[in-house]
Each structure stands twice: as structure tokens, then as C-alpha cells.
Structure 1
Amino acid sequence: MTAKIALVTGASSGIGEATALKLQDLGYTVYGAARRTERLEPLADRGVLPLAMDVTDDASMRAGVERIITDSGRIDVLVNNAGYGSYGAIEDVPMDEARRQFEVNVFGAMRLAQLALPHMRAQHGGTIVNISSMGGKIHTPLGGWYHGTKFAIEALSDCLRMEAKPFGVDVVVIEPGGIATEWGGIAADHLRETSGTGPYAKQADAVATSLSSEANAKRNSPPQVIADAIGKAVTARRPRTRYATGFAARPMIAVRRILPDRAFDAVMRRATGIPA
């Protein structure tokens, strides 16, 4: 049997790297995509095929999918993992940065779905895995633009799931909780640069500290837990529509579902150390 083909974006580190290796262990031929291919060398040494791709560049995405189809003739799994957290007060974040956050986290993922779907429909099979976050179900202060992207991924995935079902294509949402990657430190740096001075400075300091604290780093789950969830999803005969996993994901989503808005606001203020 010809090996199934998977494309994983944001594969140079963290969740993407762990996922590429997991799918390879499951027997997939895996293309690991990132903007800088030199960061994919450790994966390439283990047999993952490196692919230069910028999810904000349409020509780059088209070229990447075309290479996969030319080389392999099919695409069975698309894991939309590329993304980052641009934290800062909604008032402070420049609109160019807000747009870039949506370009990377939302439009890049949906464009790759558009490019993969014709091939998956022709095969009458495939799985699109969109990496959301528990942040697609909850809200935190100074994370508005980031949460906006993840809420959008949740809604778009629901619609896409219904549209793709008649063609044998599954759409799965992964909702990570706290994961031990460089994400928190990058988000904290963005936050301090954007809102570290001015009227939101006290909030920014508290939230940045919570994002990058050593306590969080010790509690956070390893990226492998997300890779394992993706592995379950793509090999299941009938995958779940959502997999919430990783530190605090399930309890936080449950608390948000139960509590009224203002009560949840208070919980989040306490959790991030923001004065009432």
C-alpha cells in the first residue's frame, strides 16, 4: 500500500515538530513546512521531508501543495499548526500587527485548506486538522487579537466540517492547553513591547509574568500530548470533532461553559494577577 501523505505547517519546533515525528511513526510520508528550512534540518535527518512555506504568501502555499502532489500524487492529512500569539491591549496593537495575526493564524490555515480540498475530494478521503487552543473557547485580558483568531478557527472549522463531510473529508479541531514550547515567552515579549508602557502597563506586566513564569513552565504539558491527540484523530475511523488536551484545557473550557461572563472575567483577573 502506498504510504499516506501528511503536510504539517509550523514544523520547525514545538507542536509541529512533535506532530511531524508522530505521523512519521504512524507510517505517513510527512512534509514538514516552515519559513526557514534550516530549522527543519533535525527533522530532515529523521526522514521528514522539509518544505519551505510562508503561510502569509499565497504563491509559497500553492507551490508547496503543488510539490506534494507532483511528488506523491495525493495529500491525506493537513495539519494547520503554524501560528503565534500577539498579545497587547486591543487599543495598543497596531492594525498592521492585528492583520498579520489573522493572516498567520487564520487566513493561512484556511487557504491551505482550500488548496488541499480539491485533492482530498478527488480521493474521497482526507483529514484537515486545525490547531486552535483553549483560547478559542475562553478569553484572557490583553489577548484579544490572539483569541479572535482562535475563535475564528473554531467557527470556520465547524462550517468546513459540514461542507466537507459529503466528500469523505474529516475536519478536526485541536484545543491545546498550556504546552511547554517557546510560545509563552514570545507572547510575553510581544505584550511588553506593545503595552509595557502607558495606561495598560500594570496589566501587561502581570499578564506577561504569568505567560512566561517558571511555575507555568513546570506545569505545562509536553508537545507530545498534542501530537498524540493528532495521531488519534487522523487514524480514527470516526474522529471526534474536537480534542481538548494539555495543561488546564478541559477544566478551563468547562469553567467557561458554566460561569457567567463577569464571573469568568474575575477568575481570569485572579489567574493573571491583574488587580480588580
Structure 2
Amino acid sequence: MPPLHQQVVLITGASSGIGAALAQLLADRHRGIRLVLAARTVAKLDSVAAACRDRGADVLVVPTDMTETAQVQALAQQTLDHFGRVDGLVNNAGYGQMGPVELIPVAAVRQQLEVNVVSVLTLTQALLPAMRHQGGGRIINLSSVAGQVAFPFSGVYNASKFALEGVSDALRMEVAPFGIGVSLIEPGPVKTEFFTVARTTSEAAIANPQDSVYHPALAQLDQVAQQFLDQAWSVDRVAEVIHQALGDRHPKPRYVAADYGSLLLFCLKTLPTAWVDGLWKKVYGLGLLQPTATKKD
């Protein structure tokens, strides 16, 4: 692998949040680096690109809707046509939604998996032949601690990240013989628009949540989100972890980006399930939910 300042790095979801922070960090630290920035919002994407160019980066902007397979494949082709190679792929685009598994419509489930899993597979598959041909590369997939443990009212989001983790683990073993590294980044709460988007997405998808049997607990979600945000990392701090994963000579399979994240995950995965369930019951107000009475004939 060439040094980072000689690499071509493609970042999806680059118009804001972690993706934008990473692009500007790479441009700052590695003058002359070649960046491919992809996202849907053209104006924001152009703004990030301008900031990176001011720092000495060579930037290609490719507006892309990650739910459109043809656009994702075109992103890969435009990258190779323009720069002739790709050394680092950062699959950062994604979003979350919150709500009871029972109430999230199947169409919203498909959309979640399309963006968080299928688009990652599509872009990765399109770029792997070029990485193999050039003798190596690095693939960084943005997961979450929610890819390791499940949380109430995050089941569909959990499903997308659990799937991404499984695919990434298999892919890591499959492409290692070709000099291609695959790593997962597992942030905890991050100071982005994640929770706002998650609530907005869920409110649009779930009809009349106030009439639901889950409403007493759902009404507390904003309070729960604030508790998590009090411990949240900045996007710059998460970008530093991704930068490390791109530059490590021997990349780790997973990089946890959360305070005491590794210890927390260890505890949540090894403590008795009943204890963990009890913890989340208290945090998410599940004790407020009442069984539905049934009538006897």
C-alpha cells in the first residue's frame, strides 16, 4: 500500500457528519491525497470538497443516491475512470430509525437494509476487482456498537448493523490473501443528526404512534437519546479512529469508538441476559408498558 498522501480514498456519506470530518482530516494530514466524495446533497458535498481542495487534496465529487444500484455502480466506475485506482473505501453512508419492531412497515425495513447493507455490498463488489488487480486495498465499514448488541426500539437498525458485521467478517477472511484489509468501525453515540433523523424517519413510517400500546415508553425516547448524547463523541474524534484504521499496517478487524466501549460490549455480551434485559427495561421505560387485556367468552 502506498502512503496515504499517495492514495485514492472514496468516502460515502461525505456531505456531513463523520464523512465530512474524515475528508477534511485526510486533506489536512496528507497533502496531495486524492479523495472521492459521494452523497446525495450536492450543495453540501461541494462545500466539503472546496474545503478539502483548499487543504491541497485532489477531489472528485460524485453525487450518489445509495439506494439506486445503478448510481452506486456508476460511482465505482467514475472513481476508476478518473483516478485509475482506489486504495481506501470508507462505507460511511447510512442512517438509523427507531421504533418497535411490530410497528415499522416492511417498506421501511427494506429501505433501512438497502442503504445500510445492500449499497455497501454493491459498491464493495464493484471495486474489489480493481483492488485485487493493484495488489491491495483497505475497506472500512461504518458499523456501530448496535452491530454487537441490540437495544429496545432499535431492532431494525440493529438488524442492518448485525448484517453488516457478518458480511464484513466473512469478506475480511475472503480477501486477505489478496492484500485487502477489511475493518469495522463501531461508534457509540456521536454528536450528529443521527437521533433526529432516526426519530423523523420513524415518525414518517409509523402511523399514529401515540395510539400504540408502546406509547408510554416511546414518549421517553427523547430523554433516552439525550442521556446517550451526553456521552457522545464528536465527529472529529470518530474520524481519527477511521484515519487510524486506514493507516495501520496491520489493521484490526474492529475499532470501537466509544468511551469504555470495549468494556461495555464485553459486559453486555457476557452478563446474564436477564440482567441486561432488566437494565434496558429501566433505561427505556419498558416497565410502563401494560399487557393487553383479553376478553373471555
Do they superpose with TM above 0.5? yes
Contact 1:192/1:205 (8 A) holds in 2 = no
* SS of corresponding position for 1:209: helix
Amino acid at match of 1:246: A
**1:189-268 map, 5 Å:** 189-193=200-204, 194=206, 195-211=209-225, 213=226, 215-247=227-259, 249-268=261-280
1:32 aligns with 2:37: yes
1:107 aligns with 2:118: yes
* SS of corresponding position for 2:99: coil
Any gaps of 5 or more consecutive residues in structure 1?
none
CA deviation vs aligned residue, 1:148-180 (integer Å, no higher than 9, x gap):
000011110000000010110000000001110
Deviation at 1:249, TM superposition (A): 3.0
Number of residue-to-residue matches in the alignment: 274
Q: How far, CA to CA, are the matches of 1:32 and 1:111 in structure 2? A: 17
- Structure showing greater Rg: 2
Equivalence for 1:122: 133
Q: How far, CA to CA, are the matches of 1:260 and 1:196 in structure 2? A: 33
- The change in CA–CA distance for 1:140 and 1:196 in structure 2 (over 3 A counts) is farther
Equivalence for 2:291: none
* SS of corresponding position for 1:91: coil
Q: How far, CA to CA, are the matches of 1:205 and 1:189 in structure 2? A: 14
Contact 2:104/2:202 (8 A) holds in 1 = no
TM-score by length of 1: 0.94
CA deviation vs aligned residue, 1:98-147 (integer Å, no higher than 9, x gap):
00000000000111110110110001110000000000111111111000
Amino acid at match of 1:9: T
Any gaps of 5 or more consecutive residues in structure 2?
54-58, 289-297
**1:81-100 map, 5 Å:** 81-100=92-111
Equivalence for 1:164: 175
Equivalence for 1:3: 6
Deviation at 1:187, TM superposition (A): 1.3
TM-score by length of 2: 0.87
Identity %: 34
Contact 1:134/1:253 (8 A) holds in 2 = yes
* SS of corresponding position for 1:238: coil
Amino acid at match of 2:214: Y
Deviation at 1:192, TM superposition (A): 4.5
Comparing 67-76 with 265-274, which one deviates more in the overlay? 265-274
Contact 1:177/1:248 (8 A) holds in 2 = no
Contact 1:141/1:268 (8 A) holds in 2 = yes
RMSD of equivalent CA atoms = 1.7
Deviation at 1:248, TM superposition (A): 5.5
* SS of corresponding position for 2:286: coil
